[in-house]
Each structure stands twice: as structure tokens, then as C-alpha cells.
């Protein structure tokens, strides 16, 4: 039934099974069995980019901007990562100039404190950018996130409404992670997933070449760029 109708969730499958005369096909039982088998509906997950009802307004500052050196602009975003019948949240921070992943964090909740912890770890390891860009998600307009940027003297930039392309660097990294890595891996626990992502980030930063970087690695652009700036 899942193969024939991959968008069906537990509720619809239970209804369809009951219509075929299958006894005991309750929604809760179907959901439990789907979780045991790793079956999940192929439907869009809730958007992580919805703005808060009363969010502070921040302009998009990167239109036409010449981004010429590392730590000039960073991008931050959150994505879903499937783990069995549930999902985890992955925060990533990427240097816009070099595509170098300066920080990432996997968590089971989408809270501002998780994003803030990810950013602070990146600042401790690599310094702070002049501008940090994000989408209009409620996490990025929360008081905790906004006050962190203000305290670090980082200018906040936000994508335009329904303009995912404004944060395209980190969006493309999420797509690369899922298509080149997670789709081909098997994992059952958060620890296993975290280890897989960690290995991919290391390879992405230091081994995988990029056409947009003249077939160099992000690490070569990031660290050589810092040296040139100094």
C-alpha cells in the first residue's frame, strides 16, 4: 500500500486497511508498525522558514554585494534529517566566500538555543563574520538569536520573503549532504547520524573539489583567503 500510495500517512493507511476488512487496523497501531519498518510518507514536512508573528524586520544585505574574502559573510540555516519514523534538526553555518562549513549541530528540537550554541561554537573556532544571513524563520528572529548577533557586533541579514535563493549557499549544501551522503548511508541512532555527518563535513571541507571554486576545496579557499586578508 505504501508503494502504491507513498503519500499516505498512518491515518489514511488505517482507513484503507479497514475498508479492505483488516481487523485492528487502528491509526496508532499502523503508526507503530510503520515506525518499526522505517516506512514514512513521502509528503512535505512543515516549513522551517515561516516568520514569527511579531518578528523584528531585517533587510537582505547581500544583493549585489562583492563577497571577496572569508569571514565577510556567513549563512546559517536549519533542515530536517530523517531518523526512522521521526526527524532530527541540523543547523549549519557556512562561509559564503569559500563554502567552508564553519559549524554544524544536530539536535532533536528546533529551538533558538540550539542555533545559538552552533553559532557560538563556530565563532570560538573561526572568529566572527561581518554579516550573518538567514531566512525569515522564527528562530532567527527570536530574542536569543538577535541578541547574540548584537553582542558579537555582527550585522544581521535576512532573505526576502519567499526568496530561498537569497540563502542559496547553505541550501545547496543541505541538498549535497542529503543526495551524496545520507541517501546512501544506514543509521538508526542520533549518534550514528552525527558521526556520518561529521565525516561528510570533513570530506566536504578538505577533500571534495568544487567547480565554483575553480576545482579547489573550501578549506584551501578559506585558509588561503584568511592569509591574504592578513
User: What order of strands is seen across the sheet that includes strand 86-95?
Assistant: 101-107, 86-95, 73-83, 131-134, 155-158
Q: How far is CA 74 from CA 7, 24, 155, 167, 229, in A?
A: 36, 52, 11, 10, 16
Residues 6+ apart with CB under 8 A from 222: 70, 95, 97, 98, 100, 205
Per the model's pLDDT, the better-predicted residue between 95 and 31 turns out to be: 95
Q: What is the pTM of this model?
A: 0.75
How much is the pLDDT for 99? 95
How much is the pLDDT for 184? 86
The span from the CA of 144 to the CA of 115, in Å, is 10
Q: Per CATH, is 73-229 categorized as 1.10.3720.10?
A: no
Per-residue pLDDT tens over the stretch 51-61: 555 555 789 89
Residue with cell 563556530: 122
Residues 6+ apart with CB under 8 A from 65: 73
Per-residue pLDDT tens over the stretch 171-212: 999 999 999 999 889 899 999 999 999 999 999 999 999 988
Q: Worst-scoring range by mean pLDDT, 6-15, 28-37, 113-122?
A: 6-15
* Domain residue ranges in the chain: 1-43, 73-229
Letter string b/e over residues 171-187, b meaning 16 or more CB atoms within 10 A of that residue's CB: bebbeebeeebbeeeeb
How much is the pLDDT for 165? 58
Amino acid at each position: 500500500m505504501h508503494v502504491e500510495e507513498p503519500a499516505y500517512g498512518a491515518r489514511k493507511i488505517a482507513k484503507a486497511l479497514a475498508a479492505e476488512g483488516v481487523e485492528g487496523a487502528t491509526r496508532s497501531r499502523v503508526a507503530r508498525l510503520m515506525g518499526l519498518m522505517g516506512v514514512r510518507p513521502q509528503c512535505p514536512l512543515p516549513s522551517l522558514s515561516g516568520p514569527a508573528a511579531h518578528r523584528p524586520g531585517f533587510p537582505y544585505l547581500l544583493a549585489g554585494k562583492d563577497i571577496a574574502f572569508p569571514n565577510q559573510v556567513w549563512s546559517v540555516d536549519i533542515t530536517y534529517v530523517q531518523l526512522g519514523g521521526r526527524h532530527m534538526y541540523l543547523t549549519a553555518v557556512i562561509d559564503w566566500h569559500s563554502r567552508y562549513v564553519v559549524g554544524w549541530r544536530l539536535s532533536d528540537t528546533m529551538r533558538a538555543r540550539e542555533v545559538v550554541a552552533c553559532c557560538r561554537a563556530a565563532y570560538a573556532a573561526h572568529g566572527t563574520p561581518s554579516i550573518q544571513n538567514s531566512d525569515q524563520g522564527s528562530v532567527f528572529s527570536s530574542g536569543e538569536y538577535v541578541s547574540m548577533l548584537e553582542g558579537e557586533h555582527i550585522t544581521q541579514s535576512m532573505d526576502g520573503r519567499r526568496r530561498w535563493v537569497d540563502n542559496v549557499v547553505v541550501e545547496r549544501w543541505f541538498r549535497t549532504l542529503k543526495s551524496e551522503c545520507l541517501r546512501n548511508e544506514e543509521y538508526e541512532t542520533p549518534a550514528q547520524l552525527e558521526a556520518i555527518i561529521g565525516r561528510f563535513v570533513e570530506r566536504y571541507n578538505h577533500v571534495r573539489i568544487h567547480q565554483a571554486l575553480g576545482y579547489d576545496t573550501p578549506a584551501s579557499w578559506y585558509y588561503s583567503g584568511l592569509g591574504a586578508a592578513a
